[in-house]
Structure 1
Amino acid sequence: MARPNAGTKGVPRLDRETQILDIASEHFGTHGFAATSVAAVAAGAGISKPLVYSYFGSKEGLYEACLERGGALLADEMERIAAGEAVGIERGMQTLAALFSLLEERRYLWRLFFDTTAPTDGPARDSIARHADRIGRLADEGVTELMALAGNTDALDVSAMTSVWLGIVDSLMNWWVEHPDQTADQMMQRCLRLLAALFGDTP
Structure 2
Amino acid sequence: MAALNISLEPHLVEILTPLKPLLPSELATQLLPYVSEPALPTVPYPLLQSISQWTRTAEGLLVLQSASLDPHSYSMVALLAGTTTSPERKFAAYTPEKSPEEAEALKRAERRAITYLINALLSILGSGFAAWWAAGKTGWRSEWQVLFALLVAAVVAIAEAVLYLIWDSRRSNKRPRRKLKISPEKRNQAVVKEVEASRGETGVPAGLRQRVKG
Compare relative contact order (CA 8 Å, sep 6+) and give the higher one, 1 or 2: 2
Same fold (TM over 0.5): no
Query: TM class by shorter-chain length?
Result: under 0.3
TM-score, structure 1 as length reference: 0.23
